[in-house]
Structure 1
Amino acid sequence: MGRFSLLVFSGPREISGVGFRLWITHWSTDTYRYIFDRGLILIAYRNTLFRTVAAVYLTTITCLFAAYPLSKRRLPGRTAITAFFVFSMFFSGGLIPTYLLIRGLGFINNLWVLVIPQMFNVFYMIIMRNYLMAAHLEELEEAALVDGAGYPYILFRIMVPLSKPLLATVALWVAVAHWNEWFYARIYLSGNRFLVLQSLLQRLIEHYRQDEQVLNDYVLQTEAEINSANVVAATMILTIGPIVLLYPFLQKYFVKGVMIGSLKG
């Protein structure tokens, strides 16, 4: 931990020094100034925030819409529909047919390609289904039906408020998955205006040596003390920071949502 903090907040002289340090002698934020001066980190943050927020909302809604009716034992064809969904978890068309389909739909170089193809997740849907089956809310639903409530009203006014641990757990899973995902962005998007954080970090690591001249020019112009190791480490901190800050607020729901959602029902 001490060594990593050196990379983020120290100059190259202290990083290259011999010995183990638990504290930094001379603190510096030159690395962060360099990262934000280039502007790419702001573009990557904007794109990553967009895909994460959109994916959390759409994935949670679509999975809930499928899980709620499938949690009803009296639903006709419930077993066959569930088996169809489970089948799709293990078999897919593959990367090339998927790419051809996305290109045919016009999603190449479109940020929605990071959200729409992964909008529905069977695993999350099954977790939601099992949770709703195990929650034993049939009495409340029957009472609402007797009072004249429809299924949409029951879903949003009864089931959703009582399923906060489940929804928070799924939202956290979706947010972490999309925040850390880089493969779709690498295949379907090109150009700096479509950068996401993980792609930017990958680019920095891959071009560790190639970007050295750009970094040297910046150092000469601003008299800053940074090197490529500083830049990679600081970008890592900026990349994982929001998820680390978000987790404590959802932790109280997380364990309960996973445990109840894992029951067979």
Structure 2
Amino acid sequence: MRVLTSNQKKNSRRSKEDRVFDLINVILVAIITVMVIYPLYFIVIASISDPNMIYAGKVWLWPKEITFEGYERIFRDNKIWIGYKNSIIYTFVGTIVNVSFTLMAAYALSRKDLYGRNIIMVFFLFTMFFSGGLIPTYLVVKNLGLLNTMWALILPKAVAVWNVIVARTYFQTTIPDELLEAAKIDGCTNAKFFWKIVLPLSKPIVAVMVLFYAVGHWNSYFDALIYLNNENLYPLQLILRNILIQNESAAQMVRDVSSYAAQQRVAELIKYGVIIVASVPLLIVYPFVQKYFVKGVMIGGVKG
């Protein structure tokens, strides 16, 4: 007599409609996955393929006539390395400032004994819907003497209100009031409680804030476009923008190429290659913070 396993029994009880529904879901998820992944994959294979093959429509699944000339020219260009250095500095310093201010503000607003915390939260929320605008913000940055400095890209956006709300919700649902009361009995101050107890218990939300802010700084170019005039201070994304839109940097990389057709060919390789070079750091970091990212978003964004 044949004995069915629990999985086989479960599958045998499933109706035909359930199996059709599951099949449709699998097909839809597969289609969406291809739509998301294929453009990224195409950029990778296009960066090492002959542009003539791309124009002819022959590159769609595998690279054709592989060449690394674009990457060679990218890594020989000093502006790329300067942009890399600037982006790393802006991302590192900016993330520290952002996360520090956000967590301190979120923890203070999560405390029930903070007088007027609801009024303070209203002022925070007001900035999500109304802002001073680009010109007033530029004048403030200029009057503070921040133009052509790193701080023009960091201080005006030191705190994101949405991240404060997420972190505050996390603190409210994760840090019990009894823990604070017990710490006070042992003579713990508010500052020591925050640094010694709250932060070690908040690694998931800290990782989420680091990821949010770091990605924002790494991908940002508009603030640099507005506040920076010195090319030696340009972040990598602004250099990438100039290559993709204005062809400024790309034109400088292909000056040694004689014919116009060859210049256009190499310029296309450089465009695709720079996109890959600019994306690699985030792709390397993300797997290490993914588990904290998922946990922190679920706890900070769903509960409460």
Structure 2 distance, partners of 1:217, 1:89, is: 47
Question: Is 1:132 paired with 2:147?
Answer: no
Q: Deviations over 1:78-136 (max 9, x none)?
A: 11111111112211211111111111111111122111111122111111111100114
Shift of 1:215: 4.7
Match of 1:190 in 2: 229
Structure 1 distance, partners of 2:103, 2:176, is: 15
Structure 1 distance, partners of 2:251, 2:118, is: 61
CA contact (8 A) 2:251 2:267 kept: no
Question: Is 1:246 paired with 2:285?
Answer: yes
TM-score, L = length of structure 1: 0.90
Structure 2 distance, partners of 1:172, 1:3, is: 26
Shift of 1:10: 2.6
TM-score, L = length of structure 2: 0.79
Instruction: Say which structure, 1 or 2, has more relative contact order (CA 8 Å, 6+ apart).
Output: 1
Q: Flag the structure with larger Rg.
A: 2
Indicate which of 83, 102, 107 corresponds to 2:141. 102
**31 and 134 in structure 1: CA distance in 2 versus 1, 3 angstrom threshold:** same
Structure 1 distance, partners of 2:232, 2:144, is: 21
Show structure 2 runs of 5+ residues with no match.
1-37
How many residues matched? 263
Match of 1:180 in 2: 219
Match of 1:217 in 2: 255
Shift of 1:4: 2.9
3-state SS, counterpart of residue 127 of structure 1: helix
Structure 1 distance, partners of 2:251, 2:131, is: 44
3-state SS, counterpart of residue 113 of structure 2: coil
Match of 1:32 in 2: 71
Indicate which of 112, 133, 136 corresponds to 1:73. 112
Indicate which of 265, 275, 285 corresponds to 1:236. 275
**20 and 193 in structure 1: CA distance in 2 versus 1, 3 angstrom threshold:** closer
Structure 1 distance, partners of 2:251, 2:83, is: 22
Match of 1:7 in 2: 46
3-state SS, counterpart of residue 147 of structure 2: coil
CA contact (8 A) 1:219 1:226 kept: no
Match of 1:207 in 2: 246
Structure 2 distance, partners of 1:93, 1:133, is: 31
Question: Is 1:90 paired with 2:123?
Answer: no
Q: What percent identity do the matched residue pairs reach?
A: 36
Structure 2 distance, partners of 1:212, 1:257, is: 41
Structure 1 distance, partners of 2:275, 2:168, is: 36
**182 and 148 in structure 1: CA distance in 2 versus 1, 3 angstrom threshold:** same
CA contact (8 A) 1:6 1:15 kept: no
CA contact (8 A) 1:60 1:167 kept: yes
Matches within 5 A, 1:51-66: 51-66=90-105
Shift of 1:7: 2.2
Structure 2 distance, partners of 1:117, 1:78, is: 23
Shift of 1:19: 2.6
Structure 1 distance, partners of 2:275, 2:184, is: 52
**213 and 121 in structure 1: CA distance in 2 versus 1, 3 angstrom threshold:** closer
Q: Deviations over 1:186-210 (max 9, x none)?
A: 01101320211211111011224x6
Shift of 1:74: 2.2
